[in-house]
Amino acid sequence: MPDQSLPQTRTVEAPPGEAVSKNASPGEGISRRRLLGTAGATGLVLGAAGGAVGYASAPAGATPLTSLGEDMAMFHGKHQPGITEGLQARGHLVAFDLAAGAGRKEAAALLRRWSTTAQRLMAGEAAAQDDTDVARDAGPSSLTITFGFGNSFFSRTGLEKQRPGSLDPLPDFSSDHLDKARSNGDLWVQIGANDALVAFHALRTIQKDAGSAAKVRWQMNGFNRTPGATSHKLTARNLMGQLDGTRNPKPAESDFDKRIFVPASGSTDPAWMANGSYAVVRRIRMLLDDWEKLSVHAQENVVGRRKSNGAALSGGGETTAMDLEKTDANGALVVPINAHARIARPDQNGGAAMLRRPFSYHDGIAADGTPDAGLLFVCWQADPLRGFVTVQRKLDRGDALSTYIRHEASGLFAVPGGAAEGEYVGQRLLEG
C-alpha cells in the first residue's frame, strides 16, 4: 500500500538493473513524476524551453503514486537493464536499419541520443526535447530500455573486425517459417515497463530520436501478467496456459554470470562485449485452436508438466527435479520421451542454458479466423551457439510441442555491457 503522504527523497544505492523503491533518487535531480500526487494536484513550474518540466510539492492529503508506478530500474551499471529484472507487464521490441549513407559517426550520435533518453525516461523524467506527455502522470513503472547490434550493423559502420563470431547467422530449423521483413536488423531495442502508456511513451520517443539516422525495420508489441495481479509471486503463464520459465537460471546460482554474460577477460569475444550478452529474439506463433482441442491430460504430456502448478509429471511441486526414468504401471515413461520439458532440459543438452525473458503477443484474428497470437521469445546467453542453438537443434528433432507452434520471425543481437556514468551504450565499440 502507498504511504499517505509524500516521502522525503533520499539517495538509495542498488545493484545494476535492480528496481529502486519509491524513496530513491534517480541520481540526476528529483524525478518530476515521483513527486507527483494525483493528476492536477500540483502546481506546474515551467523550465527552460525544450527542457524538463518540474512540479511543486503536492498539497497535504494528495494521493501519492502507487508502488507499482514508483519502482525504478537503473540505467547505468555493469550490465544493461532489461535482462535480469522480472517480467514486465508491457513490452515493445523494435529493430532499426541505418539509413542510406549513415555510418559509424551517425550510429555513435544515435546511441548517444538513445542513451540519454533511456536514462531520463527510466528515472521517470520527460524526454529532453519535445516530450509528448503520454506518460506525464506516471512514475518510472520499472521501465527498462535495452540496446543491441545485429550482424549487419558492423558492415554498415565499417567495424567488421569488431563483429563477434557469436553473431554468425542462426542455422535453419525445421519449425521455421520466417518472414525476412520481420527478422534481424542493424539495431535492436527492447522496451519493457509495468504500465502500457509508459512503455508506449518510451517506444515513441526512441523512434523520434532515430531521426534521419535510422528507420524502423520491424516492431512487435507484447504483454505479461501485471505484477501484483496474483495473491503471491508465481511463474508466468503463456497463452497456452502453461507455466513458462520454471527452470530459468537464477541470478543467485554460482554459474549464472558464466552462462548469461560475456566475461570481462578470458573470452574470445571482442573487448567491447565484456559484461554483455546475446539476445535471440523469435516470434513464435501458437496454433491455439489446435492446442485447445487437446484434453488437459494430452497438453500435459506434450509439455511434460502439470498445467495447474507446473510440477513435472513424475511428481512433486514445480521445482521438484524431474525423474526422467520413472514409469507407470504399464512400464511407460511418465514423462514422455518427446515431452518439451524433457528435451529442453540443460542436462539433456550438455548443460546448455539460457535466460528466457519473453512477452506474449496477440495481433488480432487472421483471415481464416484463427488468432494471431503467441510468444515474443527473448532469451539471453553468453554464447548463442552453446545456448539457444544447442537446445533448438535438439527440439527440432522430435519435440512434441513443435506441432502446435510456428517460428515466424527471428533475430540475433549482440547486447554490450552497461554504460558507466558519462558513457553511452556501445561507446567502447563505436569510439574504441
Catalytic residues: 244
Work out the end-to-end distance of the chain between its first and last CA atoms, rounded to an integer number of angstroms. 48
Bridge partner residues of 193 (DSSP): 90
Question: Phi-psi bin for 429: left (phi > 0), alpha (psi -120 to 50), beta?
Answer: alpha
Of 184, 129, 139, nearest to 20 by C-alpha is 139
C-alpha pair distances (Å), 350 with each of 87, 184, 249, 356? 27, 28, 15, 18
Phi, psi for residue 376 in degrees, rounded to 5: -90, 90
Pairing of strands 405-415, 277-286: antiparallel
Tell me, letter by letter, the H, E, C secondary structure of the chain. CCCCCCCCCCCCCCCCCCCECCCCCCCCCCCCCCCCCCCCCCCEECCCCCCCCEECCCCCCCCCCCHHHHCECCCCCCCCCCCCCCCCCEEEEEEEEECCCCCHHHHHHHHHHHHHHHHHHHCCCCCCCCCCCCCCCCCCCCCEEEEEECHHHHHHCCCHHHCCHHHCCCCCCCCECCCHHHCCCCEEEEEEECCHHHHHHHHHHHHHHHCCCEEEEEEEEEECCCCCCCCCCCCCECCCCCECCCCCCCCCCCCHHHHHCCCCCCCCCCHHHCCCEEEEEEEEEECHHHHCCCCHHHHHHHHCECCCCCCECCCCCCCCCCCCCCECCCCCECCCCCCHHHHCCHHHCCCCCCEECCEEEEEEECCCCCEEEEEEEEEEECCCHHHHHHHHHHHHCCCHHHHHEEEEEEEEEEECCCCCCCCCCCHHHHCC
